[in-house]
Each structure stands twice: as C-alpha cells, then as structure tokens.
Amino acid sequence: MSIHQRLAALGALAESSVLKAAMALPESVQARLVGKPVVLDGQTLATETQLLLAMQRLAPLPGAETLPIPEGRKVVLHQSALAAGDQPIGAVRDLPVGGLPGRLYTGSSAGATSPLLLFLHGGGFMYGDLDSHDASCRLLAERAGIRVLAVDYRMGPEDPFPAAYDDAVAAFEWVVAHASSIGADPDRLAVGGDSAGGNLAAGVAIHAAREGLPLAFQLLVYPMTDAEHPTRSFELFQEGFYLTKAFMDLANECYLPPGQDLRDPRISVIHADLPAGLAPAYVVTAGFDPLRDEGEAYARKLADAGVEVELQRFPDQIHSFFNIVGVGRRSPAAVAEIAAKTGAALHR
C-alpha cells in the first residue's frame, strides 16, 4: 500500500469515527448542535438526520450529481460505506445470476430452504452496485430470516433504458428457474428494491403477474414510480434533503434516451395497466423525500386494483435512509422494522 493509499485509508477511518460519534450523541445534545428543528408539511425531521445533513454540507466531498459519472459513483459508494457499520450475516457469497453479478446473503436463522428476496439497488439507474447496498442486504437477510439475492444490473449512461428493466426481469426469471439450487422456496419468492430499485421491483412484479410466474411479495422502498414527478413532495423536498432535483434530472438524462416517453410503464409504473394476480406489496416512503407522494400514489393504485398493500411512511426520514444502518438510532430502527415486516410476510 502506497503512502497516498495509507493516508486515504486513515482519512476515511477518521471521517467514519467522527460520524459514528456524532450520531451516537444524546438527542438533546444533537438538538443543541443543529438548532431549530426542521418542520415542513406537518412533519419534523429526525434530529440525528438534521445533524447528518449538516455534516454532509460541511464535508469536503461535493454532491455526486455535480461530478462526472465515474467520480459520482465513487462518492455514492463512499457515503454508503460511512453509514454501513459492521452488519452480521449467516453466510454471503458472490454468484452469477445469468449474465449478471449477484451476491447471495443467507440469514443465520434461514433453513436449508427459505424464502428468497431478489434485491435491486437504488441509485437513479446510474449509481450503486452490490457494495453500495451490502450492509442493508445483510441486515434485511439477517433480521428477516431469509435469503436475499442482490443483483448488479446495467445502468446509464453506458446502457440506457430499457437495459435495467430487462436485466431485472431476466434476473427474476433466473431465480424462478434456479430456486432450488440457491436454497430458495419456490412458493416464497419475493422482489424488492429502493428508489430506482423499487421502480424495477414494481416492474418485475407486474411482469410476474402477467406471465404467471410465482411471486409471493414485493418490497418497494421509496420507489420512483413517475419519471415526470408531478407531485407536491417533489416541490417541497427537492433541495436540502439529500435527493435533489439536479440528481433526478441527471438520472433521467443518463438513463432515458432523447425523446423517450416518460409515461412508458416500464419507466413510470404509475401508468401501468395492472394485471390480476399481483403479489402483496409493502410500500415504504420517507416524509422528507421528493419521491414520497408518487410512492404513496402507487400504493393507492395497487389497493384500488385489489392488491393487498401495506403503506408505511416514516415521517421523520429522508430519501436513502435505507442505507443508514450502521450509525444513529432512528434510521437503523426504521430499516429493522422493514426487515421484520418482510420476514413476517414471507414466513406466514
């Protein structure tokens, strides 16, 4: 390891230590540090999240969306690692999922055969990979007592729409065909994801229902459901709460070809004709998230179509809280609740 690599490693360790210490402070101390609470749309931002955002503004790294894509990907991975912590897991191994990289997590309490959730990571169809969501997948598998198979799909700008959608569908079809070889109960297969991954998971669920493929559950964590974002939450929270308008504009620019119809249901599932037989859904939103209202609108659309739906808003959270599992209290507790409800749904 070169001296530059050593210095970089020491800097990252110091940054992680400072963040962990700040997020572990008593809430009363955090409140004194951040000042007046953030209250918007009848919701109060979690104090620790307010502190996290303040620390992010002081950090030397710019927002990922302000950088060239390769550098932005490194920033996203760095941010994820800072909030990841050391998450226990029964077993983990990399394996190919068709032609895609995959990583299989097996919870300690999962038996020789268990429910399996195909997980599709978020990142605006341009950022994210198996490592950016490794900690969240570990927690999900361990706390839910299931297997989680994460897949690294193609992204823009190198591979624009419909590459990510096609990969997500192909990955699920691979899971159906190879369930027994990876210890998955074919009657308890699920699909899930966060943000862009939630969008892909919703698309996979629709495909599964249309094709008669077995799917027992869909987990949609603050999913992007409408590429036009015509909502009040988009207007309220597009600046200052991690996910910005600039990020979402860049996501559309990178992933969608010029002239692409934003209402194509493979992009905007809110415009899909929902088939009969859709799997039960657990839809999670965050109070201070530009995508909040479109996620909740899709939950209502599912319910109106007769789908069994549980909608849960974590009102004090921001977009990307699903990745904050190793620091603080409120966000890890929310993710633990998501895992518990996922496990309950798949084990019943």
Active-site positions read 195, 289, 319
Residue type, 232: R
Which token pair is 22?
């700040």
Report angle CA 101, 291, 122 to the nearest 5 degrees: 10
SS3 285: strand
What CA dihedral angle connects 154, 151, 311 and 348, to 10 degrees?
160
CA distances from 306 to 6, 111, 147, 200, 299 (A): 57, 33, 28, 21, 11
* Whole-number CA gyration radius for the chain: 19
Q: How distant is the alpha carbon of residue 242 from its chain centre?
A: 14
Alpha helices in the chain (DSSP H): 3-24, 27-34, 47-58, 69-82, 134-144, 163-178, 196-211, 232-237, 245-255, 292-304, 330-347
CA distances from 8 to 72, 98, 129, 134 (A): 17, 36, 22, 22
Q: Are strands 100-106 and 91-97 parallel, antiparallel or unpaired?
A: antiparallel
Phi, psi of 32 (to 5 degrees): -65, -35
Peptide bond into 162 cis (omega under 30): yes
Q: Which residues of 315-327 are buried (b: 16+ CB within 10 A; e: fewer)?
A: ebbbbbbbbbbbb
Q: What is the DSSP letter of 66?
A: G
Residue type, 81: A
SS3 148: strand
